[in-house]
Each structure stands twice: as C-alpha cells, then as structure tokens.
Amino acid sequence: MSVVSKKNSLLYSLFSRVPVPYPLSPASHASTVDEVVGRIQKIYGEMKEVQGKFSQTSYIKDLDKIERYEGEFFMKKPSSMRWNFSKPRDEEVIIKENDIWIYKKSEKQALKSAFSKDAYNHVPIALLNNFGDLKNNFDIKLIKDDTLELTPKRRMGFINKLLIEVNSTDFPVKTFSVFDVYGNKINITIKDVKINSGLEDSIFIFKLQPGIEVFDLNQ
C-alpha cells in the first residue's frame, strides 16, 4: 500500500468515531432553553477534568452501514482529550492543544495532524469541549424537556445539527447525536463518569514506541 493510501485509510477510519458527572436537577420541570442550558453551563464551569466510558453507534448513509464501538475517554481543560477504543476498533485518539494523534494498534501505524474545527466531523465527541459555551457556539432549541437541538453558528466540518439528551443524575450530557450534511448520523452515550479525579498530564501525551510507522500530515 502506498504512503498516500495509508494516510487516506487512516483518515477514513476517523469518520465513524469519534469520542463526558455532577448531580443535575431533573429536567422534567424545565420549560425554557435558558433553564436547561443554565444547568449544563453551571456543571461545565465547575469541571476541570472528566473521564468515563462511552458507546458509539455510527450510521454511514452511502454504505447503508451501522458500526458500533465502545471505549473510555479522558478530557482535561482547556484542550486535552483522549479516547481509547476497544476491539474491534482497537485505536487511540489523542488531542492536545492543536495536535491530534490517531494510533491504529493492530497495524502499528500512527497519524499526526493539526486539529481544528474542520475535523469535528471526523472526531465528533471532541465537540463536548464546546458545551461550556453553548449559546456562543450554537443556535439552540428545546425540542423536549430533556433534549436540546443545536445548530452551529459557524462552520464545524460537515455538521448540520446536534441533539443533546440531558442527564438527570450525573454528567449533564447523557446522549449526544451528530447529523451531518450527507445524511450520516453518530450517536454517543456517556456512562460511568468521574469528574475532577486528578488526571495526570501524561495521559494526553502520545508515546511513540519502536516499530510504529508514523505519517505526519503537518509536513
């Protein structure tokens, strides 16, 4: 396989992933966007770091295919994130500031690239980092007492809209769905979350081991 083909293969594998708890008052009484958003913003404002588990279901329209993944995630303000995907995905995705690493364990290949908002369609769970300032980033509708519809105010990759189901017991986001302009849908469920538990910075550093083939798209 050529170097270009390997790079494209790694980039394609990103599309279907991705990529977060505090007590939250039940949303059943909420009747306005301000009430729901206010609860989310309050919890995000008190968070410094968060970790937990996730499950992801991705529907790819062109292939008429559904893919399912599970894994664990780690996030630390302001811009450090990591997702470890379980088998069969068996990959690690690490974002620190403006760099992103994607490590495919079974192939011993790693892709390094610049991370920007244009990459959100590849790693949609990274959008959780935007939920600390919802009104600045999205036009918001309350479509149910516990569900927000978000439309990006500025371009975020190919994202058309997002749905957030509010959690009534722990972390404010229970499920998180991304709809893109091509008709694809990604749904992520968050569970077993711990907040401010003392994450080490080393978690967000990719450790390059001997024998790993690296493709640096920044060069």
Binned at pLDDT 50, 70 and 90, residue 192 comes out as very high
For 50-79, write each residue's pLDDT tens digit.
999 999 999 999 999 999 989 999 999 888
Per DSSP, what are the bridge partners of residue 189? Answer: 55, 175
| pLDDT higher at 201 or 14 | 201
Taking the C-alpha atoms of residue 60 and residue 12, their distance in angstroms, rounded to an integer, is 12
Range of the domain at 156: 3-216
Taking the C-alpha atoms of residue 54 and residue 65, their distance in angstroms, rounded to an integer, is 20
For 66-114, write each residue's pLDDT tens digit.
999 899 999 998 889 999 999 888 899 999 888 999 999 989 999 998 8
Residue 104 maps to which CATH number?
A: 2.50.20.10
Average per-residue pLDDT for the chain:
82
Q: Domains in the chain: how many in total?
A: 1
pLDDT for res 90? 86
Query: What six digits make up the tokens of 70?
Result: 């599970």
Q: What is the pTM of this model?
A: 0.78
